[in-house]
């Protein structure tokens, strides 16, 4: 009876909370899959969320300036090709309109504002169909990690700014007040507050001003 009771509780738990987990990969995949067959992942890092759908595309190229992160991604087989380079050099290595989709996920906040705008402009020249940017909602303080100074946050981007640049903005990862540095929930027990955060996802998806992070999509064709 105890095992049966635990099984029922697990099913109820999955029904209540499971459907709200993984909103970011789902929304990202929905924004890419369809008429996009090639993708450039700028600042791909060690564990890019495009891993959930990258094998469904004909070609994906991962770009990163940190060799260790890129090699970790290569070991996971996330992309079909890799290039070690600074993100701001992508226009020197990739021709205009050479990828259906160009993404920068958790990247522009690591650049100064002028550099971020420069990168966005270069991404839009390289992309054929759309550009996708994922970033915290406003400035989120963050220092370096494991000696990687590239992990520091140098700028913040908000909903009005991204809309002004022509992007549709979707709220992701629940209410802004529930998470902090590295997207960790602010309070313990962590499992409980993770679930609370997931439950608030439907409240912010169409109201990105309230969200912790922003998924920004610009359709070019």
Answer positive or negative: Cα dihedral of 205, 207, 208, 211: negative
| Residue 23 in domain | yes
| Residue 178 in domain | no
The per-residue pLDDT for 3 is: 47
Band (pLDDT 50/70/90 cuts) for residue 221 is confident
Average pLDDT, the chain: 91
| Residue 57 in domain | yes
Range of the domain at 162: 17-172+212-219
Which CATH number belongs to the domain containing residue 111 in this structure? Answer: 3.40.50.150
| Residue 116 in domain | yes
Q: Is residue 172 a contact partner of residue 164, using CB atoms and an 8 Å limit?
A: no
Contact residues for 55 (Cβ-Cβ < 8 A; gap 6+) = none
Q: How far is residue 10's CA from residue 117's CA, in Å, rounded to a whole number?
A: 46
The per-residue pLDDT for 16 is: 54
| Residue 5 in domain | no
pLDDT surpasses 50 at 174:
yes
Contact residues for 157 (Cβ-Cβ < 8 A; gap 6+) = 108, 109, 116, 133, 135, 136, 137, 138, 214
The per-residue pLDDT for 11 is: 56
Answer positive or negative: Cα dihedral of 163, 88, 100, 41: negative
**Helical axes 190-199 vs 2-17, angle rounded to 10°:** 50
The per-residue pLDDT for 118 is: 98
Per-residue tokens: 39 = 């993708």
- Residue for token digits 């981007």? 157
pLDDT surpasses 80 at 159:
yes
Q: Is residue 120 a contact partner of residue 91, using CB atoms and an 8 Å limit?
A: no
Q: Indicate the number of domains in the chain.
A: 1
| Residue 4 in domain | no
Please compute Rg for the chain using Cα positions.
18
The per-residue pLDDT for 185 is: 95
pLDDT surpasses 60 at 14:
no
> pLDDT tens, 56-94?
999 999 999 989 999 999 999 999 999 999 999 999 999
> pLDDT tens, 91-116?
999 999 999 999 999 999 999 999 99
**Percentage of residues of the chain with pLDDT beyond 90:** 79
| Residue 197 in domain | no
The per-residue pLDDT for 108 is: 97
User: Cα dist. 50→43, 124, 144, 196 in Å?
Assistant: 12, 19, 24, 25
Whole-prediction pTM: 0.90
The per-residue pLDDT for 20 is: 59
| Residue 207 in domain | no
């Amino acid at each position: 009876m105890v095992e049966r009771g635990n099984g029922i509780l697990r099913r109820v738990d999955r029904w209540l909370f499971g459907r709200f987990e993984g909103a970011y990969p789902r929304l990202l995949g929905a924004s890419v899959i369809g008429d996009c067959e090639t993708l450039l992942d700028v600042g791909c890092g060690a564990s890019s969320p495009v891993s959930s759908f990258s094998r469904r595309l004909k070609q994906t190229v991962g770009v990163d300036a940190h060799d260790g992160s890129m090699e970790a991604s290569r070991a996971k087989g996330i992309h079909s090709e890799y290039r070690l380079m600074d993100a701001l050099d992508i226009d020197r290595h990739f021709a205009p309109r050479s990828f259906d989709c160009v993404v920068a996920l958790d990247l522009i906040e690591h650049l100064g504002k002028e550099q971020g705008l420069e990168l966005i402009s270069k991404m839009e020249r390289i992309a054929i169909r759309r550009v996708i940017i994922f970033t915290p909602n406003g400035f989120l303080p963050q220092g370096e990690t494991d000696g990687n100074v590239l992990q520091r946050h140098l700028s913040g981007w908000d909903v009005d700014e991204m809309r002004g640049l022509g992007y549709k903005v979707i709220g992701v990862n629940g209410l802004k007040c529930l998470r902090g540095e590295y997207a960790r929930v602010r309070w313990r027990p962590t499992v409980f507050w993770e679930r609370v955060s997931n439950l608030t996802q439907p409240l912010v998806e169409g109201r990105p001003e309230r969200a912790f992070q922003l998924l920004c999509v610009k359709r070019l064709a």
